[in-house]
């Protein structure tokens, strides 16, 4: 995630409920649970996002399906991801000082303990996903999930020819998501936003409609 000041965008929470994505016909693969960074395999997202994805899958994918890796996440999980990536970069680049590490980690992972910044995933309005074919095999998108490097940028293969299949699949994924109103991420081909501050900034919307959700079940209980 590029370091930007999306936190300055005002939030007008619209109370769109959280839903369990296992109740939808997507392929569910909770990666951070598999990597022991989350103790809960349940994948939650805002209902409007789940419904948008379902409509895309039913009308635009021609038999392919979405595989969901990571939608809503708590600040605890955000902290685990941030610390993991920090340790990896610190080991790979021992000459970097703390300021450089903080800047480079922040390109892909939002700092979790900034009280003035709501991590986009904490709103239930961000989603990390890919496409699978009719047999459930992932399409070639050029990198694995959470590949933190230049190759993860959505337009990498536009500017660096060499994998036309990944280029075309990224074009297709981005087109169907953007046509449905999502915003993309300049650093991660798998990441899309709707309703949160990051989405509002990219879409030049006057405000975001999703604020932070600290607990999906408690959030839903308050709005029913």
Pick the CATH number of 6-223 from 3.30.1380.10, 2.40.50.100, 3.10.129.10, 3.30.460.80: 3.30.1380.10
Helix orientation angle between 75-92 and 98-108, rounded to the nearest 10 degrees: 130
β-pairing, 44-46 vs 183-184, is unpaired
**Domain boundary assignment for the chain:** 6-223
Whether 125 and 194 have beta carbons less than 8 Å apart is answered as yes
Nearest to 77 by CA among 220, 223, 216: 216
| pTM of the predicted structure, to 2 decimals | 0.93
Tokens standing for residue 220: 């839903």
CA 10 to mean position of chain CA atoms:
21
Nearest to 53 by CA among 118, 144, 128: 128
How far apart are alpha carbons 134 and 139 in whole angstroms? 10
pLDDT per residue of the chain (224 residues) written in tens, 0 to 9: 544 589 999 999 999 999 999 999 999 999 999 999 999 999 999 999 999 999 999 999 999 999 999 999 999 999 999 999 999 999 999 999 999 999 998 888 888 888 889 999 999 999 999 999 999 999 999 999 999 899 999 999 999 999 999 999 999 999 999 999 999 999 999 999 999 999 999 999 999 999 999 999 999 999 87
């Amino acid at each position: 995630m590029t370091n930007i000041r999306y936190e300055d965008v005002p939030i007008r929470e619209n109370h769109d409920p959280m839903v369990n994505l296992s109740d939808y016909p997507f392929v569910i693969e909770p990666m951070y649970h598999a990597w022991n960074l989350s103790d809960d395999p349940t994948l939650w997202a805002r209902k409007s996002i789940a419904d948008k994805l379902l409509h895309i899958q039913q009308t635009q994918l021609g038999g392919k399906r979405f595989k969901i890796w990571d939608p809503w996440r708590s600040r605890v999980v955000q902290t685990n991801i941030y610390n993991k990536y920090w340790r990896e970069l610190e080991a790979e680049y021992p000459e970097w000082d703390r300021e450089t590490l903080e800047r480079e980690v922040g390109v892909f992972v939002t700092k979790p303990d900034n009280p003035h910044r709501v991590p986009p995933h904490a709103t239930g309005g961000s989603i990390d996903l890919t496409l699978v074919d009719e047999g459930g095999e992932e399409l070639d998108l050029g990198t694995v999930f959470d590949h933190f490097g230049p190759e993860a940028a959505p337009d990498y293969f536009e500017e660096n020819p060499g994998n036309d299949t990944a280029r075309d699949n990224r074009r297709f994924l981005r087109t169907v998501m953007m046509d449905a109103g999502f915003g993309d991420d300049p650093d991660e081909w798998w990441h899309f936003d709707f309703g949160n501050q990051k989405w509002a900034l990219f879409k030049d919307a006057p405000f975001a409609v999703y604020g932070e959700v600290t607990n999906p079940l408690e959030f839903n209980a308050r709005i029913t």
